[in-house]
C-alpha cells in the first residue's frame, strides 16, 4: 500500500491512463503466426500481418474470450454487439498502413477498479477509478534505430514485424487520478488483475504492458479541464510516477509564468528525468476511422457471457478484503500475499491444510520470500509444499519442534525433504522429569556463574538456558527450560 501525495494546493492535476495490454494467446489476433517473445526479427510473420494483397483477417476466438474476461473483471458492461474499425496509422512498422482497432462500438465500457493507498497518518484509503472503455486491437511492429548521425542520432532504421498483429486490449481510464502515486497504483492493480485472469503476463520490460499518460492541471475550484498533454509508452511503475510528478510541476510553472500549454505528445527521458516534446497531439479525426470491411461484427450471447463470467477467479482486491476481515491479517500481509496469484493459492492451500493464517503469512512473506528473492525463483518452483508448511507450523504450535529448529531446517525443507525426515530425532523435550536432571548438572558445573547470579547478575539466566539447550542439541523446549532454570536458580 502506497502513501498518497498531492500537488500544490492551489492547483489540481487531472490524470487518465491509456494502457495497452498484450494478450497471452499463442497466435496473433488475425492470423496463425506465433506471438513468442524474443524470436529472430521478421520470423513470426505471415501474409495477413504483412498486409499482402488478397489476404483476409480472421479473429482469434481466444482474443475475444480474454477481452471479455478482462472487461468483466474490471466491472465493465460487455457489449452484445461490437465491431472492428480501420484506423489510418501511417507508420513504417505497420505494413498495411492502417491498424485494425475498435472505435465507436468497443467490446466493453463503463467499468471501474479500486486502488488502495494510505494517508499521511497511515490510514487506509480506497478509491474507485472509472474505466471508460476496453477495446481490442492489433499491435504495430518495432523500429530499431541504428548507425550514427550528428543531427538525428541514427543514420538508418531497421524494421522488425514480429510484433505486427500481436493481440492487444487498450484500457482507457476516466480522468479520476490526481497524482503520480495514484496513477502508478492504478497501473499496478491493473497488472495484478490481468495476471490473475491469465490473460496477460503483464511484463513491462517485454512491452506486454505499456501506459500512455494524459495530464492536465487546473486551478482548484475550476470546472473546466486544462489543456491535455500525453506522455507515451511508460515502461515501469516508478517511471509513471516520476514522469507525472515532473509534468505536473512543468505545467504549473508554465501557467504561473503566463506561458500557453499546447496539446502535444511528450516522451519521458529517463536519464534526464524530464519530459520532452515529441509531436503535436493528433485528434480522432486525424485517424479517419471507418468500419473494417473484412471482419464481421461481434455478437456475444448471454450463454457465452455467463460461461466466461463463471470462469473468473477471485481477484486481488477481493482477496485482500477477505484476508483482512476474515483471517485477521494486516493490510501489508494481505497485499504481499495477493501480489501474485500463485502465492495467494499457496497460502490458501496451507490454511486449508490446517495452518494458522498469521503463522503461514509470516513464513511466506518473510523466510520463504527471502529464499525466492535470493534464488530468483517463483513459489511454484520450491520443494516445500503448502501442506508440508502447514505440518511444520502445527509441529511448532504443538511444541514438537521449536521455531529455531524449523528455520534451521528450512533449506532442506525448501529442497523437498519432508518434515518427517527433516525433524527425525529432533522432537522437543517437554517432560520436566527429563529436563530437571540436565539443569541440575549444568548448575553444578557452573558454580561461579551461579554465585554471580545470586549476587544480582540475573542476566546470567540466559547463560544457563543456553547451556541446557547446548547439552540437548537444542531439543529442550525453550519456554519450559526458561521456567525450570529460573525456578532452580532462585531456590
Q: With pLDDT > 70 as the criterion, what percentage of the chain qualifies?
A: 96
Task: Identify which of 201, 230, 193 has the alpha carbon closest to the alpha carbon of residue 214.
Answer: 230
pLDDT band at 91 (very low <50, low <70, confident <90, very high): confident
pLDDT at 441 over 70: yes
| Residue 389 pLDDT greater than 80, yes or no | yes
Above 60 in pLDDT, residue 181? yes
Per-residue model confidence (pLDDT) at position 287 = 84
- What is the pLDDT at residue 474? 80
174 with 129: CB under 8 angstroms?
Answer: yes
Contact 178, 217 (CB under 8 A): no
pLDDT at 286 over 80: no
State residue 284's pLDDT score. Answer: 61
* 3-state helix/strand/coil string of the chain: CEECCCCCCCEEEEEEEEEEEECCCCECCCCCCECCCCCCCCCCCCCCCCCCCCCCCCCCHHHHHHHHHHHHHCCCEECCEECCEEEECCCCCCCCCEEEECCCCCCEEEEEEEEEEECCCCCEEEEEEEEEEEEEEECCCEEEEECCCCCCCCCEEEEECCCCCCEEEEEEECCCECCHHHHHHHHHHHHHHHHHHCCCCCCHHHCCEEEEEEEEEEECCCCCCCCCEEEEEECCHHHHHHHHHHHHHHHHHHHHCCCCCCCEEEEEECCCCEEEEEEECCCHHHHCCEECCCCCCEECCHHHHHHHHHCCCCCHHHHHHHHHHCCCCCHHHHHHHHCCHHHHHHHHHHHHCCCCHHHHHHHHHHHHHHHHHHHCCCHHHCCCCHHHHHHHHHHHHCCCCCHHHHHHCHHHHHCCCCHHHHCCCCCCECCHHHHHHHHHHHHHCCHHHHHHHHCCCHHHHHHHHHHHHHHCCCCECHHHHHHHHHHHHCC
Residue 6 has pLDDT above 60, yes or no: no
pLDDT of 4 > 60? The answer is: no
- Minimum mean pLDDT range among 146-155, 246-255, 397-406: 146-155
Predicted local confidence at residue 429, as pLDDT: 83
| pLDDT of 153 over the 80 cut | no
CA proximity to 28, closest of 49, 43, 47, 42 = 49
pLDDT tops 70 at residue 8: no
How far is C-alpha 297 from the chain's CA centre?
34
pLDDT for 419: 96
pLDDT surpasses 70 at 453: yes
pLDDT for 2 equals 62
pTM: 0.86
Does residue 160 surpass a pLDDT of 70? Answer: yes
Does residue 392 register a pLDDT over 80? Answer: yes
**Do the beta carbons of residue 214 and residue 227 sit within 8 Å?**
no
Residue 7's pLDDT band, with cuts at 50, 70 and 90, is: low
Name the residue with higher pLDDT: 9 or 207.
207
Choice between 317 and 145, residue whose per-residue pLDDT is larger: 317
Cell numbers describing residue 433:
522429569
Which comes out higher in pLDDT, residue 328 or 156? 328
Among the listed residues 149, 164, 136, the one whose alpha carbon sits nearest the alpha carbon of residue 44 = 164
Average pLDDT over residues 430-440: 89
Domain 432-489 has CATH 3.90.230.10: no
Q: For 240-247, what is the mean pLDDT?
A: 96
* pLDDT, tens digit, 9 for 90 and up, residues 345-364: 999 999 999 999 999 999 99
> What's the average model confidence in pLDDT over 419-433?
87
How high is the pLDDT of residue 137? 98
- pLDDT value for 464: 92
| pLDDT > 70? residue 268 | yes
Nearest Cα to Cα of residue 472 among 421, 441, 422, 429:
429
Q: What is the model's pLDDT at position 22?
A: 98
CA-CA distance, 275 to 268, in Å (whole number)? 4
pLDDT at 150 exceeding the cut of 70: no
Mean pLDDT for 153-169 is 92
Give the model confidence (pLDDT) of 187-208 as tens digits.
999 999 999 999 999 999 999 9
Extents of the domains making up the chain:
2-304, 314-422, 432-489
Question: Which residue has better confidence, 219 or 147?
Answer: 219
Amino acid at each position: 500500500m502506497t502513501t498518497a501525495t498531492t500537488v500544490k494546493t492551489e492547483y489540481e492535476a487531472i490524470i487518465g491512463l491509456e494502457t495497452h495490454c498484450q494478450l497471452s494467446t499463442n497466435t496473433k489476433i488475425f492470423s496463425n503466426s506465433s506471438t513468442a517473445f524474443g524470436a529472430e526479427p521478421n520470423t513470426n510473420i505471415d501474409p495477413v500481418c504483412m498486409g499482402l494483397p488478397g489476404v483476409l483477417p480472421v479473429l482469434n476466438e481466444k482474443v475475444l474470450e480474454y477481452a471479455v474476461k478482462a472487461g468483466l473483471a474490471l466491472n465493465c458492461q460487455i457489449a452484445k454487439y461490437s465491431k472492428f474499425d480501420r484506423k489510418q496509422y501511417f507508420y513504417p512498422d505497420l505494413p498495411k498502413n492502417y491498424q485494425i482497432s475498435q472505435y465507436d462500438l468497443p467490446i466493453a465500457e463503463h467499468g471501474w477498479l479500486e486502488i488502495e493507498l494510505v494517508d499521511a497518518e497511515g490510514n487506509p484509503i480506497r478509491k474507485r477509478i472509472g474505466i471508460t472503455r476496453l477495446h481490442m486491437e492489433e499491435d504495430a511492429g518495432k523500429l530499431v534505430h541504428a548507425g550514427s548521425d550528428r543531427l538525428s542520432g541514427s543514420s538508418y532504421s531497421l524494421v522488425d514485424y514480429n510484433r505486427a498483429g500481436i493481440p492487444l486490449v487498450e484500457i482507457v481510464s476516466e480522468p479520476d487520478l490526481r497524482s503520480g502515486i495514484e496513477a502508478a497504483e492504478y497501473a499496478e492493480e491493473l497488472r495484478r488483475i490481468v495476471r490473475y485472469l491469465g490473460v496477460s503476463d503483464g511484463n513491462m520490460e517485454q512491452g506486454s504492458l505499456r501506459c500512455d499518460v494524459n495530464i492536465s492541471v487546473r486551478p482548484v475550484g475550476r470546472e473546466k479541464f486544462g489543456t491535455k498533454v500525453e506522455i507515451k509508452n511508460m515502461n515501469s511503475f516508478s517511471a509513471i510516477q516520476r514522469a507525472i510528478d515532473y509534468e505536473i510541476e512543468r505545467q504549473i510553472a508554465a501557467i504561473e509564468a503566463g506561458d500557453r500549454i499546447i496539446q502535444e505528445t511528450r516522451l519521458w527521458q529517463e536519464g534526464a528525468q524530464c519530459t520532452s516534446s515529441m509531436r503535436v497531439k493528433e485528434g480522432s479525426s486525424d485517424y479517419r476511422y471507418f468500419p473494417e470491411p473484412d471482419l464481421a461484427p461481434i455478437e456475444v450471447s448471454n450463454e457465452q457471457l455467463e460461461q466466461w463470467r463463471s470462469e473468473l477467479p477471485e481477484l486481488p482486491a477481493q482477496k485482500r478484503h477477505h484476508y483482512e476481515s476474515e483471517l485477521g491479517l494486516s493490510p501489508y500481509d494481505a497485499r504481499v500475499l495477493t501480489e501474485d496469484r500463485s502465492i495467494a493459492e499457496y497460502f490458501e492451500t496451507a490454511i486449508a491444510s490446517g495452518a494458522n493464517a498469521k503463522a503461514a503469512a509470516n513464513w511466506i512473506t518473510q523466510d520463504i520470500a527471502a529464499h525466492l528473492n535470493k534464488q530468483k525463483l517463483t513459489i511454484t518452483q520450491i520443494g516445500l509444499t503448502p501442506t508440508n508448511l502447514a505440518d511444520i507450523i502445527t509441529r511448532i504450535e504443538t511444541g514438537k519442534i521449536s521455531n529455531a529448529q524449523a528455520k534451521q531446517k528450512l533449506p532442506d525443507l525448501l529442497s523437498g525433504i519432508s518434515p518427517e525426515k527433516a525433524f527425525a530425532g529432533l522432537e522437543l523435550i517437554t517432560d520436566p522429569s527429563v529436563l530437571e536432571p540436565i539443569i541440575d548438572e549444568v548448575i553444578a558445573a557452573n558454580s561461579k556463574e551461579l554465585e554471580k547470579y545470586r549476587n544480582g547478575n540475573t542476566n546470567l539466566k540466559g547463560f544457563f538456558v543456553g547451556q541446557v539447550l547446548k547439552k540437548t542439541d537444542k531439543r529442550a523446549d525453550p519456554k519450559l527450560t526458561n521456567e525450570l532454570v529460573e525456578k532452580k536458580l532462585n531456590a
